[in-house]
Amino acid sequence: MILGAKYPTPYCIFVEIVTSLQNSAVKEARSLSAKKFRRLTGRFIVEGANLLRDMPLSVAVRKVFCTEARLDEAETIAARYDGAQLICVADKVFDSLTDTVTPYGIAAVADIPAREYAPPKGNALLLDAVSDPGNLGTILRTAAACGFEDVYMLECADVFAPKTVRATLGGLFRVRLFEVDEAQAIELVSAANSATLDMDGDDMLKAKISQPILFVAGNEAHGVRNSIRQATKKALSLPMKNDIESLNVAIATAVAMFRTLEE
């Protein structure tokens, strides 16, 4: 099938609509739903026009996929990224690229940014085995909003999984991300002004929070592991009423980060 598309040029460019799931570019994009292929290729998939408009130009976008209905919009987005290939696909093919119920119709394959380990430059987070993509995405977006530019992740959910990327709403590209092992995490909290977010800690709303600070947030079910908790300088908690024992890790971490804006 051939589509005549109006581009912001003095002539009309004809674009072939890809209808086969066996197309090599489509097969690569579909594979990126699996972590092992993201690791193998060093690429991930980004869905949604807003995310792609907000993504820094330093991110290497290789391909932009779109439906026929989104072709003009996708062409403008693809033009932002040097060398990005625009591929128009049939609706059923696009649906196979994403895991959303109602896909927007624009997605891209991009390189996972490479970054060497570095100590924090200011306020920072260490996330210990945060396993829910939604929680991780929310934490990263809030970190960006609060100026926590360095985020260290120990055995967390894959930050470049499609659900996590969507949950960050662009925050993923506004923080520096580092994967660390347990030994690096212990060294990190030992050297920093660090505080574990823990139900048995001091009242966070009353404590004086000196900065820069490294907050440590743990797994949804098990909290922060003992080896790291013992190495941190202090523990902070949120006061609870009505017999509520704890809050979601993303909410608790958000409160902690916003407290630093009051100091």
Tell me what the pLDDT averaged over the chain comes to. Answer: 91
Three-state SS for 189-245 is HHHCCEEEEEEEEEECCCCCCCCCCEEEECECCCECCHHHHHHCCEEEECCCCCCCC
Lowest mean pLDDT among 14-18, 42-46, 189-193: 14-18
Domains of the chain: 2-111 (3.30.1330.30), 124-259 (3.40.1280.10)
Three-state SS for 4-66 is EECCCCCCCEEEECECCCCCHHHHHHHHCCCHHHHHHHCEEEEECHHHHHHCCCCCCEEEEEE
Tokens 């109602």 map to which residue?
Answer: 102
Query: What pLDDT score was predicted for residue 215?
Result: 98
Q: What percent of the chain has pLDDT over 90?
A: 81
Residue 54's pLDDT band, with cuts at 50, 70 and 90, is confident
Mean pLDDT of 80-103: 94
pLDDT at 22 over 70: yes
Query: What pLDDT score was predicted for residue 3?
Result: 44
Query: What pLDDT score was predicted for residue 1?
Result: 33
Q: What percent of the chain has pLDDT over 70?
A: 94
Helix (H) or strand (E) holding 153: strand 150-154
Three-state DSSP at 84 gives: coil
Report which residue type is found at 172.
L
The half-sphere exposure of 135 on its side-chain side, counting CA atoms within 13 A, is 21
Q: How far is CA 117 from CA 13, 14, 150, 184, 185, in A?
A: 45, 46, 10, 10, 12
Tokens 């939604």 map to which residue?
Answer: 134
Lowest mean pLDDT among 6-15, 45-54, 119-128: 6-15
Three-state DSSP at 3 gives: strand
Three-state DSSP at 165 gives: helix
DSSP single-letter state for residue 263: -
Query: What pLDDT score was predicted for residue 263?
Result: 64
pTM as predicted: 0.88
Residues 180 and 185: their CA atoms lie apart, in Å, by 6
142-198 pLDDT, tens digit per residue, is 999 999 999 999 999 999 999 999 999 888 889 999 999 999 999 999 999 999 999
Mean pLDDT of 47-54: 92
Residues 232 and 28: their CA atoms lie apart, in Å, by 43
Query: What pLDDT score was predicted for residue 12?
Result: 39
